[in-house]
Chains A and B, each alone.
Chain A
Amino acid sequence: NAGVTQTPKFQVLKTGQSMTLQCAQDMNHEYMSWYRQDPGMGLRLIHYSVGAGITDQGEVPNGYNVSRSTTEDFPLRLLSAAPSQTSVYFCASTPQGADIQYFGAGTRLSVL
């Protein structure tokens, strides 16, 4: 199993551009989440999903959209990138009934 795969690994955007961060998992996990990690800070939850077709907002959802059309994929869309969205983004998945999260390697995003 590949686990949780995030693409791209690195991305540079200009202010106002839009893009989609991809996340895919091959473990048939029901739950998936997106976090951002800023220097000296912990992980802050952006959006999460408890199953295909179901998404909900986390702690810092503004400026981001998500969708969950399949169990495997959970893309994160930046609608109009801002410098404040420069961060490292992590996707995670969790099997139903469990609590341990499995993280991807992250996407390092810079917005100029």
Chain B
Amino acid sequence: GESVGLHLPTLSVQEGDNSIINCAYSNSASDYFIWYKQESGKGPQFIIDIRSNMDKRQGQRVTVLLNKTVKHLSLQIAATQPGDSAVYFCAENTGGSYIPTFGRGTSLIVHP
């Protein structure tokens, strides 16, 4: 069936570097995408979202890029800090459904 997936299960970066976490999706009907951050021992927390009528959205130190042509989503974190160490999930929604489909997650490790 169609699903959301991630290219890299683990990403290690140095403090201060920029991080890019990728996500592939295959449901062409998906029109809303969300990134969640899950710190160790906690529940996922919303970071940023993007609708399918956009290709880029920026937040504080984070940017989400959407390429509908190749069904690819990425989360860019600028000047990565140790506090950014977590598992990052992408999730997709199809219009009318509030239940997202989650990807497997990417573990981001930031080395001081």
Contact = CB atoms under 8 A, between A and B. Distances in A.
B98 to A, nearest CB: 5
A100 B102 contact: no
Q: SS class of chain B's interface: helix, strand, loop or mixed?
A: loop
B60 to A, nearest CB: 17
Contacts of B27: none
B47 to A, nearest CB: 10
Given A99-B49, A103-B45, A43 B93 contact: no
A58 interface: yes
A42 B104 contact: yes
Contact of A42 (B45, B46, B103): B103
- Range for the number of chain A residues in contact with chain B: 20 to 34
B45 A41 contact: no
Contacts of A58: 99
Given A43-B89, A99-B98, 20 more contacts: A4-B43, A40-B9, A41-B104, A42-B104, A42-B105, A43-B102, A45-B99, A48-B99, A58-B99, A94-B98, A98-B98, A99-B32, A99-B34, A99-B100, A100-B34, A101-B100, A105-B41, A105-B42, A105-B43, A106-B42
